[in-house]
């Protein structure tokens, strides 16, 4: 294992961004523990990571909307890895906004997936990292959480909740030498966004993975991925509400 090698726990490991991030850590000889819903994809990814140089890899199959499993999942990861250096939370879904507007049940499901399940996992992880008194927790949120746009406010509200939670958690964990990174990607070309027309603002999962790894190494706080999304969202945030409510984007 190289001097850069870490013990890495990845939640939502079969997402496009998570896979590419795991491959970066595998090439560094890291130990990895993966969690996702699809067992066949997890087995395939495990084999791939071992070929790429991962020291050890194991996984658990779980639906992360079953919150009562989170403590067990974190415990299994910490036991296998013999401690956690990095925890990366990547899971989520992209809801049908119009359908969610008309069905609270559907909206609740999406908020559970993109918001509350993340907070549940963070609650369990925080205790492990406090006891260790070191490490990094990184979470993929979204630029959608910066403001409630008409086209995706169910998704955006869940991501905003997580980002606010991370800000408070960051302060809570500071005395324990635990760092918290909020990764806010813009448009990413992945299976989750396959139905969308792509343009110059879109990024590949490989590019976002590189940003994630560098941001963890540099102990960043809030990271727009790529950087130009920080400029774009600054412009979006300063639009007065009386104008913003009329913009359909």
Contact 60, 83 (CB under 8 A): no
Extended beta strands in 197-248, E state: 222-225
Q: In what order do the strands lie in the sheet with 178-185?
A: 56-61, 31-36, 7-11, 86-89, 135-140, 178-185, 222-225
Residue predicted with more confidence, 248 or 63 = 63
Token pair of 39, please? 């067992």
DSSP state string for 27-53:
HTT-EEEEEES-HHHHHHHHHHHHHHT
- Sole residue written with tokens 């993975």: 209
Spell out the domains of the chain, with CATH numbers in brackets. 7-244 (3.40.50.720)
pTM of the model: 0.94
Please list the residues that pair with 136 across neighbouring strands. Answer: 86, 179
| Average pLDDT rounded to a whole number, residues 146-162 | 97
Token pair of 10, please? 């990845």
Contact 93, 114 (CB under 8 A): yes
* Residue closest to 208 by CA, chosen among 17, 24, 46, 47: 17
State the number of CA atoms in the 13 A half-sphere of 188 facing the CB.
Answer: 28
pLDDT tens profile 93-134: 999 999 999 999 999 999 999 999 999 999 999 999 999 999
| Average pLDDT rounded to a whole number, residues 200-223 | 96
Predicted pLDDT at 195: 77
For helices 39-52 and 16-27, give the axis angle rounded to 10 degrees: 30
The answer to whether residue 249 scores a pLDDT higher than 90 is no
């Amino acid at each position: 294992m190289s001097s850069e090698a870490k013990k890495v726990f990845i939640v939502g490991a079969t997402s496009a961004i998570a896979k590419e991030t795991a491959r970066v850590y595998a090439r560094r000889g890291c130990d990895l523990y993966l969690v996702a819903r699809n067992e066949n994809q997890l087995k395939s990814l495990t084999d791939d990571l071992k070929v790429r140089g991962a020291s050890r890899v194991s996984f658990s199959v779980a639906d992360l909307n079953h919150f009562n499993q989170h403590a067990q999942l974190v415990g299994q990861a910490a036991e296998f890895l013999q401690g956690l250096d990095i925890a990366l939370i990547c899971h989520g879904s992209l809801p049908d906004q119009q359908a969610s507007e008309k069905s609270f049940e559907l909206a609740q499901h999406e908020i559970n997936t993109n918001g509350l399940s993340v907070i549940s996992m963070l609650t369990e992880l925080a205790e492990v990292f406090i006891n260790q008194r070191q490490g990094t927790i990184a979470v993929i949120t979204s630029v959608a959480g910066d403001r409630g746009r008409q086209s995706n406010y169910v998704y955006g509200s869940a991501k905003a909740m997580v980002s606010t939670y991370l800000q408070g958690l960051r302060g809570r964990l500071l005395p324990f030498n635990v760092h918290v990174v909020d990764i806010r990607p813009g448009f990413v070309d992945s299976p989750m966004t396959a139905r969308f027309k792509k343009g110059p603002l879109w990024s590949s999962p490989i590019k976002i993975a590189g940003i994630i790894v560098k941001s963890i190494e540099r102990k960043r706080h809030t990271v727009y991925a790529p950087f130009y999304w920080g400029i774009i969202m600054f412009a979006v945030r300063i639009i007065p509400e009386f104008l913003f409510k009329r913009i359909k984007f």
